[in-house]
Amino acid sequence: MRRTKIVATVGPASDSADILRAMIRAGVNVFRLNFSHGSAEEHKARCEMLRTLAHEQGCYVAILGDLQGPKIRLRKLAGDAVEIAEGDELWLDTQLADGEGDKQHLGVDYEPLARSVAPGDTLLIDDGRFQLSVLEVKGAAVLCRSESSGTLRSRKGINRLGGGLSAPALTEKDLQDIEHAAGMDLDFIAISFPSSAADIADARDKLQKAGCFAQIIGKIERAEAVAEEEHLDELIRACDGVMVARGDLGVEIGDASLIGLQKHIIKRASRLNRPVITATQMMESMISNPIPTRAEVFDVANAVLDGTDAVMLSAETAAGKYPVETVKAMARNCEGAERYPSARKSSYRLERSFDSVEETLAMSAVYAANHQQGVKAIVSLTETGRTVLLMSRLTSGIPIFAFSRNESTCNRVSLYRGVFAVASPEAGVTTEDCVEELKARGHVAAGDLILMTMGDQIGVDNHTNTLKIVRVL
């Protein structure tokens, strides 16, 4: 069974029941709704369709709503696009309105721009495709020289190399989307461009006041967020999970620094018991091609070997020609990487002490499963999914089955590495019930061993205190 989970973005290329059904069969575990595009009504309809399709397929999928956030962008140009040549001088003007920009004067929707940059700074447009050197700051405008050539279109994002262009993490549009999200059946909601734990706390407060209790995925994409390890750890702890958003992050810190930082963020998130998604351009060539490049195959494999919980597809499934084929290729490549020994067994937590009985039981179960001959499955009777989240932090080739009576828990654990949900209609599900269910699904057979964790008080949250080994008869 594939342990690494797949997040796929829904968009025009995949917005039909037949394609979404095929994507679920191909291996999608989490569907992403990008609130930068589409209406609230469209996203709500997609949520309902995805739940119906998952029930039809007899499986669980999580749904992630992704807030647009304060992306700093060019305003709309007077025409469709402008041609920029290397050496051209142009003004970035925050007082220029939509529809007024040309190749010499580009409007920007970020009022503090002139106060945030200085001569010698480097600005990056369209994920770094255009590089501008700041020459002069005059009033509300910034004079730049282009170090790149090409076609520049409206509404492209702007970053400063090294970070420093910071707007509040939640925009007016985000606040409206939060109100709409409360009426959707979301499992997770992603907060874009948080710079600190305080941004996440503010977002959580606004979500809960709106009646939305989806878990928060913090997108790590600002240089400020990763400037200091203690600051990064605080941000991770404030979230329920994180995303390595390599697009904007790479633009701000530089591609060369991104390589090691991806590994570091995944490691820190795992140690702090948070699931992590690795995102951006993982199979971008499959937007227009039916097979990935070798470089993309290796990129996916490296993320798997780094220990990511999930890998994400964006435009590949939202706007690409081959959404189903892309999911199949991603699943194939994850499974290939997981066959490597380091992706199946580790002992990195054995040097540390545990903070709770629950963590002790979770770590003991996975360690025993990795070393006891004949163990084919780990079973956890769980109310919230907390125990299986802790289990999934320790690498193993043994599948973890979360038996839960809570549908929200079954959906949510779809994100966790190596965890698979099984519905338990009754709170008092027995050991025999679990064994028979796994036998019926073909996961275990007579003579196999199963490791089981549970609480001695049935139906009580955060009370896992029992570990036992069961032989299948």
322 is written with which tokens?
A: 């081959």
Distance of alpha carbon 463 from alpha carbon 332, whole angstroms: 37
Helices in 2-117 by DSSP H: which ranges? Answer: 17-26, 40-57, 113-116
Beta bridge partners of 132: 123, 146
Amino acid at 141: A
Distance of alpha carbon 22 from alpha carbon 10, whole angstroms: 13
Give the mean pLDDT of 220-248. Answer: 95
What confidence tier does 321 reach under pLDDT thresholds 50, 70, 90?
Answer: very high
Distance of alpha carbon 351 from alpha carbon 436, whole angstroms: 36
Q: Is the pLDDT of residue 346 over 90?
A: no
Distance of alpha carbon 365 from alpha carbon 359, whole angstroms: 10
> Within 13 Å, how many C-alpha atoms sit on residue 274's CB side?
26
Q: What is the CB neighbour count within 10 angstroms for residue 242?
A: 29
Q: 5-28 pLDDT, tens per residue?
A: 999 999 999 999 999 999 999 999
Cα 450 to Cα 238, 370, 421, 439, distances in angstroms: 34, 12, 16, 11
343 is written with which tokens?
A: 């992706």
Average pLDDT, the chain: 93
Per-position DSSP letters for 421-451, written without gaps between them? EEE-SSTT--HHHHHHHHHHTTS--TT-EEE
Longest dimension (CA), the chain: 80
- Give all domains of the chain, ordered by start, each with its CATH number: 5-69+168-338 (3.20.20.60), 81-160 (2.40.33.10), 357-471 (3.40.1380.20)
Residues 356 and 430 sit within 8 Å (Cβ to Cβ):
no
Phi, psi of 64 (to 5 degrees): -115, 120
Task: Give, rounded to a whole angstrom, the gap between the first and last alpha carbons of the chain.
Answer: 23
Q: 99-152 pLDDT, tens per residue?
A: 999 999 999 999 899 999 999 999 999 888 899 999 999 999 999 999 999 999
Sequence length of the chain is 473
Please give the pLDDT value at position 64. Answer: 98
Q: 347-385 pLDDT, tens per residue?
A: 556 667 777 888 888 888 998 998 899 999 999 999 999
Catalytic residues: 32, 73, 219, 280
Please give the pLDDT value at position 181. Answer: 95
pTM for the model: 0.90
What is the three-state SS of 72-97? CEECCECCCEEEECCCCEEEEECCCC
Please give the pLDDT value at position 288. Answer: 97
Of the listed ranges 44-53, 67-76, 130-139, the least confidently predicted one is 67-76
> What ranges make up the beta strands (E) of 150-297?
150-153, 158-160, 188-191, 215-220, 241-245, 276-279
